[in-house]
Structure 1
């Protein structure tokens, strides 16, 4: 008997944003069973909440349909709301394989909340296979240098010159699958915010509605190339092409000599509660 909650992350509207299934009381499950449950849920991520082991409020393991991730954005944000609602505790420290994530939840009624989370500071580098990646994406000339950022998952950021170019992308997913352990994060300016799309056959996700772990790296990338300032609130919208719009706010504190902290925030809403009979 495994209780679970489904939370739509980075939205205040049910059946929008990016859903995550949050399974509680999961200490008795082995890794194989967790992976099979994640495949059964068939969402981009499913999380499992366990007893803490490093001084936090809970330990969280994150699975895509095909593998485990050490950290991910929308699953942690959604899990934070589910844990906060269950425990009636609105300041949390969630243990992940990338360390403790500090969480603040502002409740907004019985089902909704605004969540702010710290993120691991990513390690960045130029992406060595950028030529092959651009060909797989169908991008002729990126608007900014192509760089990878690893904060658990590995995100490769590809800037496009126009919003129309971003919206009409139709990647070759077979060629994308040749790029192991990475997600292609494509983005373009859209007036007062940035639009983003994510493609990752390597993580078992054809396209993601909200990639919270890429929001912080995007804020760093934009600041590093003079398209935003360190300390600015970078507004990001994703999932439009999927009919599940998601809104994120990312802030990277620091300077050109180094990043000091990364924070990402957004709304979340509980849409389902149930029990797995496993």
Structure 2
């Protein structure tokens, strides 16, 4: 095993995902070659950065293949969408845009990076097979109490569910944008609630139009009050909307996130009729 004290420090890149400028979207750390780093060293790097997640890549046997692990400041998570987008753009900048396969703890995630007409690199990830589960009424009641919300705040057309597309998220949709904007929750209590149910974030959502949503993601289990732009939750949310019949594939959804934190970002979610997997795309820019 590598001695962390003796091992050289890896190059740590910083990107803002789902944004066109460094001040927007969700910051992520990226280590392009984590060969030889122990779990403890990766966790320490992620904690030192303080971002929601840092992606650690190890090149695979074939070109374009990478093993990827994701660490928050407190723990490892099975999959992270915004760090995937950031890592894919970082790989493209250091090699060339193209198609990659990220081997994650949740499964293989294909990612394609293209350069847009605006000159920015855009990454599109394809989720693992998603699933949606019922939520016990007692769990919904407890989650609402921890958020300081009431059952009357929820949108009856979009009932609570747990959705998965690489990580588990509790989806709670509210009836007004004003309710979504007011978020002041019991950090420790919600963290305990989520750990007990293997939840990575809560996907809080408000529907502005048929294909446009505003979302927020508390992330206390990762040591972060709120995730500014959440690709894994966006993929799970797309699966949730399809499962509930709230949208009909093929469809492209626009999710706005981070506005209430002063870090606006945009996530594009694509559902295809012939494939249950969800595609999430966005730009990423380097934080210098």
Equivalent-residue separation in structure 1 for 2:61 and 2:165 (angstroms): 21
User: Which moves more between the two structures, 93-102 or 233-242?
Assistant: 93-102
Residues 1:225 and 1:89: Cα distance change in structure 2 (over 3 Å): closer
Q: Which residue of 2 aligns with 1:217?
A: 236
Q: How far did 1:55 drift?
A: 7.8
Is residue 24–residue 49 contact of structure 1 (8 Å, CA) maintained in 2?
Answer: yes
Q: Which residue of 2 aligns with 1:238?
A: 257
Given the alignment, which residue of 117, 128, 149 partners 2:163?
149
Q: 3-state SS of the aligned residue for 2:132?
A: strand
Q: 3-state SS of the aligned residue for 1:35?
A: helix
Is residue 132–residue 243 contact of structure 2 (8 Å, CA) maintained in 1?
Answer: no
Q: 3-state SS of the aligned residue for 2:232?
A: helix
- 1:186 aligned onto 2:204: yes
Given the alignment, which residue of 260, 275, 278 partners 2:276?
260
Equivalent-residue separation in structure 2 for 1:14 and 1:108 (angstroms): 18
Q: How far did 1:53 drift?
A: 5.7
Using structure 1 for the length normalisation, give the TM-score: 0.90
Given the alignment, which residue of 81, 103, 108 partners 2:111?
103
Is residue 69–residue 152 contact of structure 1 (8 Å, CA) maintained in 2?
Answer: no
- 1:140 aligned onto 2:159: no
Q: How far did 1:109 drift?
A: 8.8
More strand by share: 1
- 1:176 aligned onto 2:190: yes
Unaligned stretches of 5+ residues in structure 1: 273-278
Aligned residues: 269
Q: How far did 1:121 drift?
A: 2.1
Equivalent-residue separation in structure 1 for 2:60 and 2:180 (angstroms): 41
Q: Once superposed, what is the RMSD of the aligned Cα atoms? A: 2.1
Unaligned stretches of 5+ residues in structure 2: 1-8
- 1:159 aligned onto 2:178: no
Residues 1:79 and 1:190: Cα distance change in structure 2 (over 3 Å): same
Equivalent-residue separation in structure 2 for 1:121 and 1:214 (angstroms): 14
Superposed CA deviations along residues 169-222 of structure 1, whole A, max 9, x for unmatched, are: 322223212211321110001246200000121222210100100112212222
